[in-house]
A = this chain, B = another copy of it.
Amino acid sequence: MFNFEFYNPTRVIFGKGQIDKLHSQISKDAKVLILYGGGSVKKFGTLDMVKKSLKDRKIVEFGGIEPNPRYETLMKAVDIVKKEDIDFLLALGGGSVIDGTKFINLAANYTGNNKAELLTNPKAVASITKGLPIGTVLTLPATGSEMNMGAVVSYKSGKFPVFSPLSFPRFSILDPTITYTLPLTQVANGIVDTFIHTVEQYVTYPAEGRFQDRTAEGILQTLIEIGKKTIDNPKDYDARANLVWCATMGLNGLIGAGVPQDWTTHTMGHELTALFGIDHGKTLAILQPAIWSVRKDKKRDKLIQYAERVWGITEENDDLKIDLAIEKTREFFESLGIKTRLSDYGLTSDKIDLVVSNLENHGHTNISETGDLTLSISREILEKAM
C-alpha spacing A163/B336, complex, angstroms: 44
Which residues of chain B are within 8 angstroms of A218 by Cβ–Cβ distance?
210-211, 213-215, 217-218
Q: Which of A18, A210, A245 has the most CB of B within 10 A?
A: A210
C-alpha spacing A7/B13, complex, angstroms: 9
Residue on B with the closest CB to A214?
A: B218
How far in angstroms is the closest Cβ of chain B from A62?
A: 28
Query: B9–A4 contact, CB under 8 A?
Result: no
* A6 interface neighbour in B2, B14, B257, Cβ under 8 Å: B14
C-alpha spacing A222/B212, complex, angstroms: 10
C-alpha spacing A2/B38, complex, angstroms: 31
Does A11 make an interface contact (CB < 8 A)?
A: yes
How far in angstroms is the closest Cβ of chain B from A263?
A: 22
Give the total of A residues in contact with B, Cβ under 8 Å. Answer: 41
Query: B208–A242 contact, CB under 8 A?
Result: yes
Which residues of chain B are within 8 angstroms of A16 by Cβ–Cβ distance?
3
Query: B258–A210 contact, CB under 8 A?
Result: no
Interface residues of A in 1-53 (CB under 8 A from B): 1-18
Residue on B with the closest CB to A254?
A: B254
C-alpha spacing A215/B216, complex, angstroms: 9
Does A219 make an interface contact (CB < 8 A)?
A: yes
Residue on B with the closest CB to A2?
A: B15
Which residues of chain B are within 8 angstroms of A225 by Cβ–Cβ distance?
210
* A221 interface neighbour in B1, B208, B214, Cβ under 8 Å: B214
Does A238 make an interface contact (CB < 8 A)?
A: yes
Query: B211–A1 contact, CB under 8 A?
Result: no
Query: A12–B6 contact, CB under 8 A?
Result: yes
Query: B211–A249 contact, CB under 8 A?
Result: yes
Q: Contact residues of A with B, CB < 8 Å?
A: 1-18, 208-211, 213-215, 217-219, 221-222, 225-226, 238, 241-242, 245-246, 249, 254, 257-258
Known: A1-B241, A210-B226, A217-B218. 11 other contacts (CB 8 A): A5-B14, A6-B12, A7-B10, A7-B11, A14-B258, A208-B242, A210-B218, A211-B218, A211-B219, A214-B218, A218-B218
